[in-house]
Structure 1
Amino acid sequence: MTTSQPNNPLHGVTLEQIVTRLVEHYGWAELGVLIPVRCFNHDPSIKSSLRFLRTTPWARQAVEKLYLETRW
């Protein structure tokens, strides 16, 4: 059962896609400045970032907000 979410701009976008796109756009160094979390600044990887973001709601919200505010 799938529900339509026309007002949710993140509907259908995975957290991995969000992080990957942000890293491609900003790079790890700038992303670590914009959102100062250890997983972006010390030995960064997509895998470690996803693990952290899935367990830390405030950080995930910051990443989602940056993704929505970024002009591609």
Structure 2
Amino acid sequence: MSGQQVNNPLHGIKLATMLEQLFREYGWEELGDTLNINAFKNNPTYKSSLKFLRTTPWAREKVENFYLKNMID
């Protein structure tokens, strides 16, 4: 069972997929206001936001927690 993440609800969900679903559901403005992440507030693009989240652990954690709370049944 090594290498498997049985208890991780995000296992198998790519960051890009999370961001796309959150953007479609909430839009940049609401994501920026709710999560208080400047990458979503100041001239956001999908590509720049994804790059920021991949290099900024605290922001990625916020997005992942928000996704779990609001998008996973």
Corresponding residue for 1:31?
A: 31
Corresponding residue for 1:9?
A: 9
Unpaired segments of 5 or more residues in structure 1? none
CA distance in 2, matches of 1:39, 1:56: 11
Corresponding residue for 1:59?
A: 59
When residues 71 and 52 of structure 1 are mapped into structure 2, their CA distance, relative to the original with a 3 A threshold, is closer
Tell me by how many angstroms 1:4 deviates: 2.3
CA distance in 1, matches of 2:12, 2:71: 19
Q: Is it true that 1:43 corresponds to 2:43 in the alignment?
A: yes
CA distance in 1, matches of 2:11, 2:46: 20
Question: Could you report, residue by residue, the CA deviation over 1:7-49 in whole angstroms, capped at 9, with x for unpaired residues?
Answer: 1101011110011110111111100111112210111111101
SS of residue paired to 1:12 = coil
Report the TM-score, using the length of structure 2 for normalisation: 0.88
CA distance in 2, matches of 1:60, 1:36: 12
Report the TM-score, using the length of structure 1 for normalisation: 0.89
CA distance in 2, matches of 1:3, 1:57: 22
Q: How many residues align?
A: 71
SS of residue paired to 2:5 = coil
How much identity, in percent, do the aligned residues show? 48
CA distance in 2, matches of 1:14, 1:41: 22
Unpaired segments of 5 or more residues in structure 2? none
